[in-house]
Amino acid sequence: MKESWKKLTGSVLSASLVLSSLGLAGSAVAEETVSEDVLAVMDQSGDRLEIDTTNQRSNDNRLVVFNDTFSYYTETDKGSFEVVLEKSGLTTYRVVKQTNGDSEIPENGLVLSTGDVTTDEIKGFLEQLETGETVTLHEPTVKQENMQSNAVDPTAQSNPGGAVFDGFRGPDQLIVYTPGFGSSTKTNQYGYEITVEDGFVTKLGGGNSAIPENGFVVSGHGVGSAWLSSNSIIGAKVTVNENGVVEITQDVESFQYQSRQSIEQAKNSIEKAKAEFLDVAMEEAEESVEKAEALLEDASQMNAEDPVRALHMTREATQIAYDAYYYSLPSNIAEQRGIWYRPEETTLEGVNQVLDRMEEAGFNSVYLETTFWGYTIYPSETMKAYGLPEQHPNFKNGDYGEYGKDLLKAYIEEGKKRGMTVQAWTDGFMIGHGSLGLPSQFQKYPEWAAIQRSNTTGKPAPDSSNQYYWLDIVQPDVQEFMLAIYEEMQSEYDIKGLNIDYMRYPHHGFDKSYGYSTEAREMYKEVSGIDPLDLTAADQDEWDAWQEWIRTKENEFVSKLHDQSKAIDKRFMLTATPEPGPEAVLIGDWKDDIDGVIPQAYGHDFNSIQNTVNASKKLMPEGTMYYTGIYSFYHHLSEMASVNDVMSAKYGTSGVNMFAFGQASAPSVDALGKGPWREKAINPGEEPIEASFAVLKDMQKQIGQNYIAGGAVKGKDAASIRKAVKNVEKSIQRDTFNTDEAYQNAQAIITELIETEKLNKALGERMLGQLEETKLWVNYSNQHHQ
């Protein structure tokens, strides 16, 4: 018998009432299980230890359990002590190995984690777990958590901490909104909300949520957001007492509610697909619904005699219903499915593992971070010529098989085998962090450093707000260096574009503003006669002129980058990724220099995402390629929430970029691959004409195969649509007659058939949208590829 560790009170039951709310139920029932009022883990000898929380990176002085819904990795700091567990039964796991942080989470497995600062009790328990040993996870039948809210129906007076914020919700607060507050919470996207109807959670996530007449919304930011997201599921029961304490309960009834709702959601989506003649995996969807319903019925009958098995079956029914919903979604034949990724791999095997997972999800474009912390991920002759380290130290000893030490080459060539292209994502003029020491560029060229007004030493120093180091963007020598790096990347590697990030000074107020290097000050004095360091906060006109000069220099660099890139290859894409705020407003400065915009939408509901995109579209000319940047992975959303984000984000744009694959999870990857990205898609930004042809040909195919047979349109009318669409295709391919005229003719025919009710309205409107989309891509090609 091993040394006894912390013992937890509780009674031994014959069949576990343990609720597998981690979503990791297996097929075999554990021989002996224990019901506890706390989440706990038991080793093979019977010693048990309480688990403090799930899927939280902050692990000092506590025991955290991670499951595969969090990510492929725990993302914990190195120095953590972790034990990796593979599933072996309903509640049992086999010890695989011990690691020191950022452990890979096995699919359907767990990782037990504690920080490098922890208790002897926790570390001792983990250390004595032996490889091959069986570990049992115990959970309470009822999970109940509560938190004091800061306000119910807040006002500026009742909640002064939130007075200046949207919805009167302040930092780290938890707020309850009832119908008495209004129709919606009026909050921004920087938080997490749950909608409660008749006592059950019916919606997760979002900002400015509608407040139901038969319930309320609980909204959190920071600490409040983390508490809500980690304790809420669809079907959870929520109450708020007279003192404003929010209590969330997960029990058997919660999971039954969740399962029934997921089945109903799948059925509704299937009916919508049929009514709108959507091309979906209908057979798989309907079969999955039948399986889910049968399984839920069996679970209900089994509940009295074997509650553990019943709960397992209930959750399995929910997952199968989720799959039915995914199968009922259309998978576009042409769209960008982009993923940002900072590579970590030091072997070709590691590269292929990442690409395999990306392929499973359906991504077709990898926005690979090719420069970060002042290094290139590939061996750079340009860096070497400047006397700087030629490759990022993480990769200089890498072994990528036939590609040697060239990580970028490995990603490009192995990506091609899977139908994925690479866009180079660059950190621009941000080249380091205070925690990493002085960047190599400043060790060699200290005069290149961008200097803050508050930096009275004039020497390189990290930003006083975020600890980043910045190259001085206005200096000619610095611009020349950066242009040389980008020219090398484009000339030496088969990358399809450059995603520019950090191409402006940080947006700070007067005291923390940038541009005060000796070189920058002398440059401005030559044109204005003013040393910007002599300006005061009261010199508004001179200050505005100084800021405008900086802005001009930033824009000049992007213009030079555009000219250089297009001289090498006119089809090469330059894209920018503006964050909400000052950077987004300034995107119009680059309207003649960039090909595409990827506005970053931090919210997780349709309106929030679309508002971000539409605000950006007003600043750019027609013919600009637009994708939507979403943060589903980074915010560790559930698989269903990730799919819903994608469906919201792809509306009105030519695709989606997700941030970032370092936080992707196996369930979300599986869901995307079964749902909206089920079929391969051509990337319209990289291949606009091919993408247009694919959509136009598919329209003609669907008319013949599905729309006539389904009764959406009759044969004669279908023939006129098909001929008009074919003429659009010919006009693009052969330039036999005016393309605009061909589009107008096709649109007129479809519109008339809708108005005369000879064509299903939903289908007709979708066809008009497809024509408009392909027209945009053709115009994009004419403007940016010629």
The C-alpha R_g of the chain, in whole angstroms, comes to: 28
Same domain for 451 and 565: yes
Residue 34 has pLDDT above 70, yes or no: no
pLDDT at residue number 32? 40
Question: 5 in a domain, yes or no?
Answer: no
3-state secondary structure 540-577: HHHHHHHHHHHHHHHHHHHHHHHHHHHHHCCCCEEEEC
Within 8 A by CB and 6+ apart from 323, the residues are 284, 288, 674
How far is the C-alpha of 314 from the C-alpha of 263, rounded, in Å? Answer: 11
Q: Which letter does DSSP use for residue 707 in this model?
A: I
Give SS3 for 514: strand
Distance CA 608, CA 614 (A): 10
Asked if residue 679 is part of any domain, the answer here is: no
Containing H/E element for 128?
none
Q: pLDDT > 90: what percent of the chain?
A: 85
**Encoded tokens for 496:** 């399809």
What is the band of 735 on the pLDDT scale with cuts at 50, 70, 90? low
Whole-number pLDDT of residue 36: 52
- The amino acid sitting at 569 is D
Measure the CA–CA gap between 686 and 226, rounded to whole angstroms. Answer: 38
Is residue 533 located within the same domain as residue 659? yes
Which of the four pLDDT bands, split at 50, 70 and 90, describes residue 117? very high
Asked whether residue 680 is assigned to any structural domain, the reply reads no
Phi/psi of residue 176, nearest 5 degrees: -110, 130
pLDDT at position 59 over 70: yes
Q: What is the reported pLDDT for 241?
A: 97
Residues 89 and 222 in one domain: no
Give the Cα separation of 688 and 686 in Å (integer): 6
Q: What is the pLDDT of residue 542?
A: 96
pLDDT at position 509 is: 92
Helices (H), 94-234: 120-127, 223-231
CA distance 362 to 674: 9
> What pLDDT digit, counting tens, does each position of 320-330 carry?
999 999 999 99
Q: Of the candidates 485, 387, 395, which has an alpha carbon nearest to the alpha carbon of residue 440? A: 387
Of 250, 270, 293, the last residue of a domain is 250
Q: Could you tell me if 240 and 272 lie in one domain?
A: no
CA–chain centroid gap for 541, Å, is 41
How high is the mean pLDDT of the chain?
92
6 lies in a domain?
Answer: no
How far, in Å, CA of 228 to CA of 195, rounded?
11
Residue 315 in any domain: the answer is yes
- Measured CA to CA, the distance from residue 165 to residue 666 in angstroms comes to 36
* Integer Cα distance of 737 and 700 in angstroms: 20
What average pLDDT does the segment 413-429 reach?
Answer: 98
Phi first, then psi: give them for residue 110, nearest 5 degrees.
Answer: -135, 160
Count CB-CB contacts under 10 A for residue 346: 17
How wide is the angle at C-alpha 186 spanned by C-alphas 180 and 192, nearest 5°?
A: 105
| pLDDT the model gives residue 428 | 96
Cβ 476 vs Cβ 483: under 8 Å: no
Percent helix, strand, coil in the chain (nearest 5)?
Answer: 40, 20, 40
Asked whether 565 and 497 are in contact (CB, 8 A), the reply is no
**Residue 447 phi, psi dihedral angles, 5° rounding:** -70, -10
CA angle 209, 215, 219 (to 5 degrees): 40
One domain for residues 360 and 447? yes
Banded pLDDT at 230 (limits 50, 70, 90): confident
Angle of helix 688-702 relative to helix 715-734, nearest 10 degrees? 160
Is the backbone of residue 209 left (phi > 0), alpha (psi -120 to 50) or beta? beta
What's the rounded Cα separation, in Å, for the pair 133 and 94? 6
Single-letter amino acid code for the residue at 699: M
Peptide bond into 660 cis (omega under 30): yes
| Closest alpha carbon to 184 in 219, 139, 150, 160 | 219
Over range 33-39, report the average pLDDT: 60
Q: Cα(471)–Cα(278) distance, rounded to whole angstroms?
A: 51
Q: Residue 123 falls within a domain, yes or no?
A: yes
Beta-carbon contacts of residue 355 (< 8 Å; ≥ 6 apart): 366, 411, 414, 415, 418, 420
| Strand pairing class (192-197; 174-177) | unpaired
**Per-residue DSSP letter, 209:** P
Which residue pairs from 716-719 have beta carbons closer than 8 angstroms and sit at least 24 positions apart in sequence? 717/753, 717/758, 717/759
**The residue count for the chain:** 786
Is the confidence at residue 33, as pLDDT, over 80? Answer: no
**607 pLDDT exceeds 90?**
no
Is residue 226 over pLDDT 60?
A: yes
627, 643, 674 — which closes off a domain?
A: 674
Q: Are residues 541 and 594 in the same domain?
A: yes
**Dihedral (CA of 675, 680, 686, 688) sign:** negative
Please say if the pLDDT value at position 567 is more than 60.
Answer: yes
pLDDT surpasses 50 at 184: yes
Closest-CA residue to 22 (of 64, 61, 57): 64
DSSP lists the bridge partners of residue 366 as: 339, 422
% of the chain surpassing 70 pLDDT: 95
Alpha-carbon distance values, 532 to 447, 497, 543 (Å): 18, 36, 8
Q: Are residues 414 and 450 in the same domain?
A: yes
Q: How far apart are CA 377 and CA 407, in angstroms?
A: 6
Rounded to an integer, what is the distance from CA 360 to the centroid of its chain? 16
How many domains are contained in the chain? 5
Cβ–Cβ < 8 Å for 149, 176: yes
- Find the distance separating the first CA and the last CA of the chain, reported in whole Å: 76
- CATH assignment at residue 382: 3.20.20.80
Long-range contacts of 48-56 (CB under 8 A, 24+ apart): 48/5, 48/6, 48/7, 48/8, 48/138, 49/5, 49/6, 49/8, 49/121, 49/122, 49/125, 50/6, 50/8, 51/112, 53/230, 54/22, 54/230, 55/230, 55/636, 56/226, 56/230
Q: Where is the domain boundary, 122, 140, 158?
A: 140
Please give, one letter per residue, the 3-state secondary structure of 36-77: CCCCEEECCCCCEEECCEECCCCCCCCCEEEECCCCCECCCC
- In the DSSP assignment, the letter for residue 179 is T
Shared domain check, 366 and 466: yes
Same domain, 202 and 273: no
Question: pLDDT at residue 6 above 50?
Answer: no
Question: Bridge partners of 375?
Answer: 372
**pLDDT of residue 60 exceeding 90:** yes
Q: Tokens 């407003």 appear where?
A: 585
- Please tell me the predicted confidence (pLDDT) of residue 142: 83
**pLDDT band at residue 500 using 50, 70 and 90 as cut-offs:** very high
pLDDT at 229: 87
- Do 407 and 319 share a domain, yes or no? no
Question: Residue 381 belongs to what domain range?
Answer: 336-674
570 shares its domain with 696? no
Cβ count near 297 (within 10 Å): 12
Q: SS3 for 191?
A: coil
Q: Are residues 350 and 452 in the same domain?
A: yes
Does residue 1 lie in a domain region? no
**pLDDT tens digits along 401-410:** 999 999 999 9
In a domain, 153, yes or no: yes
305 exposure class (CB count in 10 Å sphere: 0-12, 13-18, 19+): exposed
Strand order across the beta sheet in which 81-87 lies? 48-50, 40-42, 134-138, 92-99, 81-87, 110-114, 64-67, 53-54
